[in-house]
């Protein structure tokens, strides 16, 4: 009897929608509310072009008028602005050896689909961290870091409580948004500052609460732990750790459609032959109100390195409407 091949298991028209659905279901970004799935973004991601235009209305400004029998009310207008997102085009190919364990399952297509979905969920989280590096480098360069709270010192090994993550630093960071601080509902951090909060018994676990996605809550905020959150040498000793506070829906996500999203192949040369699975995605992952300027992109879609460059970002929303804040501590 001939062995079962990947092409015998996977029906692309069934497999690809399953992977997209499972990627969203498994994503900590989606489950935390940082990223809200938006059908309009799906439509835009399929509309063509590598830069997606996102026009918006600016807030109303100006003074109100006095009602008077003799004078007419003055007419004011509403102005518009332009946000822009990059269409991210990514792909990955696997040989059967990487999927051998999955092929032994009772439902191999589901097992492979879950592995691919978990892979893309991790990649989306890594991409977002790179995007955050770029937008906060832009914020520091152009807006004097008005969304950045930095309490770290160069001698990190001798940091005091005032230099470490805690309620004061998180509240101070949120307060950078002034009376909009209440919009911040989640916090992403490296495992080192997270462990500090755990040791102080400050993480609240409420498994039945939709906000608790597995890492608990801190100050009522959903916690995401991700070691791709930046850790950098402090200068003299120790490290600086970057955490991010988010508001619900701070990041827009849209799912596009590659021409051939899922493909199987077989390499008959060498060994006993190799089954190949290829997954391709076109998608949007965009911080709302911070325009992707595309200034230094060399290919059709930006790389992670290019996403992390300040030159590729420019804030277009009013400061308080940017629902992301950066907190830098020594742990």
pLDDT of residue 7: 78
Q: How confident is the model at residue 325 (pLDDT cuts 50, 70, 90)?
A: very high
pLDDT of residue 1: 45
pLDDT tens, 252-266?
999 999 999 999 888
pLDDT of residue 22: 93
Query: What value does the mean pLDDT take over residues 12-29?
Result: 91
Domain ranges for the chain: 6-57+82-329
Number of H helices, E strands in the chain: 9, 16
pLDDT of residue 4: 65
Cβ count within 10 A of residue 137: 18
pLDDT tens, 35-84?
988 899 999 999 888 899 888 787 787 888 888 878 888 888 787 788 99
Q: Residue 236 phi/psi, 5° resolution?
A: -95, -45
Query: What value does the mean pLDDT take over residues 106-125?
Result: 89
Q: Report how far residue 184's alpha carbon sits from residue 181's, in angstroms, rounded to the nearest whole number.
A: 6
Pairing of strands 239-247, 231-233: antiparallel
Please state whether the predicted TM-score (pTM) of the whole model is above 0.75. Answer: yes
Q: How confident is the model at residue 103 (pLDDT cuts 50, 70, 90)?
A: low
- Of the chain, the percentage scoring pLDDT greater than 90 comes to 66
- HSE (side-chain half, CA atoms, 13 Å) at 119: 18
Q: Which residue has the higher pLDDT, 87 or 36?
A: 87
pLDDT of residue 62: 80
Whether 97 has a pLDDT exceeding 70, the answer reads no
pLDDT of residue 272: 64
Whether 270 has a pLDDT exceeding 60, the answer reads no
Cβ count within 10 A of residue 193: 24
pLDDT of residue 206: 84
Q: What is the CATH number of domain 6-57+82-329?
A: 3.90.1690
Q: How confident is the model at residue 174 (pLDDT cuts 50, 70, 90)?
A: very high
Cβ count within 10 A of residue 166: 20
Compute the mean pLDDT over every residue in the chain, rounded to the nearest whole number: 90
Query: What value does the mean pLDDT take over residues 77-99?
Result: 84
The CA angle 318-324-327, to the nearest 5 degrees, is: 125
Residue 269 neighbours by CB under 8 Å, 6+ apart:
none
Whether 2 has a pLDDT exceeding 50, the answer reads yes
pLDDT tens, 279-317?
999 999 999 999 999 888 999 899 999 999 999 999 999
- Note whether 124 and 285 are within 8 A (CB): yes
pLDDT tens, 177-227?
999 999 999 999 999 999 999 999 999 998 777 788 889 999 999 999 999
- Of the chain, the percentage scoring pLDDT greater than 70 comes to 94
pLDDT of residue 102: 57
Query: What value does the mean pLDDT take over residues 105-118?
Result: 84
pLDDT of residue 301: 94
Query: What value does the mean pLDDT take over residues 151-159?
Result: 98
């Amino acid at each position: 009897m001939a062995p079962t091949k990947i092409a015998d298991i996977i029906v692309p028209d069934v497999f690809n929608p399953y992977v997209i659905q499972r990627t969203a279901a498994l994503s900590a970004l989606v489950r935390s509310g940082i990223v809200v799935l938006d059908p309009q973004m799906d439509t835009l991601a399929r509309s063509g072009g590598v830069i997606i235009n996102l026009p918006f209305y600016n807030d109303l400004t100006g003074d109100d008028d006095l009602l008077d029998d003799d004078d007419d009310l003055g007419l004011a207008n509403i102005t518009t602005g332009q946000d822009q997102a990059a269409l991210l085009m990514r792909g990955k190919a696997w040989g059967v050896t990487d999927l051998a364990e999955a092929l032994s399952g009772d439902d191999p297509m589901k097992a492979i689909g879950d592995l691919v979905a978990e892979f893309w969920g991790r990649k989306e989280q890594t991409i977002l961290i790179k995007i955050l590096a770029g937008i906060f480098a832009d914020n520091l360069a152009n807006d004097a870091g008005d969304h950045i709270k930095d309490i770290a010192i160069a001698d990190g090994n001798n940091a005091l409580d005032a230099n470490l993550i805690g309620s004061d630093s998180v509240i101070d960071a949120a307060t950078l948004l002034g009376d909009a601080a209440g919009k911040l509902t989640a916090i992403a951090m490296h495992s080192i500052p997270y462990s500090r909060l755990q040791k102080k018994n400050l993480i609240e676990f409420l498994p039945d609460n939709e906000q608790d996605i597995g890492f608990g809550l801190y100050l009522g905020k959903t916690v995401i732990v991700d070691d791709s959150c930046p850790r950098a040498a402090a200068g003299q000793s120790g490290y600086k750790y970057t955490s991010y506070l988010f508001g619900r829906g701070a990041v827009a996500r849209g799912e596009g459609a590659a021409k051939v999203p899922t493909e199987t192949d077989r390499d008959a040369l060498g060994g006993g032959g190799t089954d190949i699975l290829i997954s391709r995605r076109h998608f949007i992952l965009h911080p709302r109100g911070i325009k992707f300027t595309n200034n230094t992109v060399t290919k059709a879609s930006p790389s992670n390195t290019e996403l992390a460059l300040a030159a590729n970002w420019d804030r277009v929303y009013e400061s308080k409407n940017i629902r992301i804040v950066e907190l830098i501590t020594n742990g």
